[in-house]
């Protein structure tokens, strides 16, 4: 009685690996990491603006959040450089338009309304998120 081994042949294994390679090449080319980074960075900007507003209300003084978007090295809140979670460097392929400084008074009201556009700038899969700071209330939303 001859006992036959059960399992895959070498040809079957190679064909499966080739098919997985082709599918993964297609999937990786469809991913757009810059668009995900734009969405995440919009959240960073919103949280930084809200932090300045909360500091202004808590201390009843004027607080400012400033971003330098040309050579992005971080941001400053009330003149103090902020690092870490509140201010990350601008990711590759992400642009920020229309935002430099927002100042809040002791009641949390901004000096003026602000509109910030964060976009991935990656062509057909471009994702833009627009952040608004309301003039009357200082409400930060998309």
Q: What is the pLDDT of residues 89-140, one digit of tens each?
A: 666 777 778 777 888 898 989 988 888 888 876 555 677 889 999 988 889 9
101-104 sheet: strands from edge to edge? 80-82, 75-77, 63-67, 101-104
User: Tell me: domain 33-141, CATH 3.55.40.10, correct?
Assistant: yes
Enumerate the domain spans of the chain. 33-141
Q: Using CA atoms, how far apart are residues 114 and 126, in angstroms rounded to an integer?
A: 22
What pLDDT does residue 36 have? Answer: 73
Distance of CA 19 to the CA centre of its chain: 34
Token couple for 95: 């642009």
Rg of the chain, C-alpha, whole Å = 24
pTM for the whole structure: 0.64
For the stretch 89-101, pLDDT in tens is: 666 777 778 777 8
C-beta of residue 77 within 8 angstroms of C-beta of residue 51: yes
Coil, helix or strand at residue 90: coil
Residue 20 pLDDT grade (very low, low, confident, very high; cuts 50, 70, 90): very high
What are 75's strand-pairing partners?
67, 82
């Amino acid at each position: 009685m001859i006992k036959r081994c059960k399992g895959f042949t070498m040809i079957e294994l190679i064909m499966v690996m080739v098919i997985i390679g082709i599918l993964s090449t297609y999937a990786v080319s469809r991913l757009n990491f810059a668009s995900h980074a734009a969405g995440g960075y919009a959240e960073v900007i919103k949280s930084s603006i809200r932090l300045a507003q909360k500091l202004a209300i808590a201390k009843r003084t004027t607080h400012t959040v400033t971003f330098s978007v040309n050579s992005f090295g971080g941001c400053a809140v009330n003149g103090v450089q902020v690092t870490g979670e509140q201010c990350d460097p601008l990711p590759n392929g992400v642009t920020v338009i229309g935002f430099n400084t927002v100042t809040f008074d002791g009641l949390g009201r901004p000096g003026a309304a602000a509109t910030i556009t964060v976009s991935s700038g990656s062509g057909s899969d471009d994702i833009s998120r627009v952040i608004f700071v309301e003039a009357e209330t200082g409400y930060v939303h998309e």
